[in-house]
Amino acid sequence: MSLLIYCSAFILDLILGDPPHWPHPIRLIGTAIARTEQMIRRLSRHERVLYVGGAVLWVVIVSLSWGLTWLVLQAAAAIHPWVGVAACVWLAYTTLAGRCLADCANLVYRAQGQGDIEESRRQLSYIVGRDTRRLDNAQISRAVVETVAENTVDGVIAPMFYLFLGGVPLAMAYKAINTLDSMVGYQHEKYRALGYVSAKMDDLANWLPARLSWLLFSVAALLLRYDARGALTIGWRDRYQHKSPNCAWSEAAVAGALGIQLGGANDYFGQRVEKPWIGDHHRLIERDDIQRTIRLMYLVSVLALLVDISVCWMIGIGLS
Q: What pLDDT sits at residue 314? A: 76
Full-model pTM: 0.92
The band of 320, judged by pLDDT with boundaries at 50, 70 and 90, is very low
Tell whether the model's pLDDT for residue 242 goes beyond 90.
Answer: no
The band of 63, judged by pLDDT with boundaries at 50, 70 and 90, is very high
How far is the C-alpha of 187 from the C-alpha of 235, rounded, in Å?
25
Could you give the 3-state DSSP secondary structure of residue 10? helix
Residue range 209-227: average pLDDT?
98
Which range has the worst mean pLDDT, 71-75, 272-276, 278-282?
272-276
- Contact (CB, 8 A) for 123 and 108: yes
Residue range 56-72: average pLDDT?
97
In tens, the pLDDT along 29-41 reads 999 999 999 999 9
Torsion of CA 181, 187, 192, 195, to 10 degrees: 0
The band of 129, judged by pLDDT with boundaries at 50, 70 and 90, is confident
Q: What pLDDT sits at residue 296? A: 98
The runs of H, that is alpha helices, within the chain are 2-16, 25-43, 47-79, 81-94, 98-113, 117-125, 137-152, 158-184, 196-205, 207-223, 228-237, 247-258, 288-315
How far is the C-alpha of 92 from the C-alpha of 103, rounded, in Å?
20
How far is the C-alpha of 276 from the C-alpha of 266, rounded, in Å?
11
CA 278 to chain centre: 19
- Name the region of 128 (left: φ>0; alpha: ψ -120 to 50; beta: rest): beta
Q: What pLDDT sits at residue 1? A: 65
How far is the C-alpha of 40 from the C-alpha of 55, rounded, in Å?
11
CA contacts within 13 A on the Cβ side of 44: 20
Check the CA dihedral 313-315-317-320 and report its sign: positive
The DSSP bridge partners found for residue 185 are: none
How far is the C-alpha of 124 from the C-alpha of 121, rounded, in Å?
5
Residue range 297-317: average pLDDT?
88
Mean pLDDT taken over the chain: 92
How far is the C-alpha of 91 from the C-alpha of 73, rounded, in Å?
9
How far is the C-alpha of 296 from the C-alpha of 289, rounded, in Å?
10
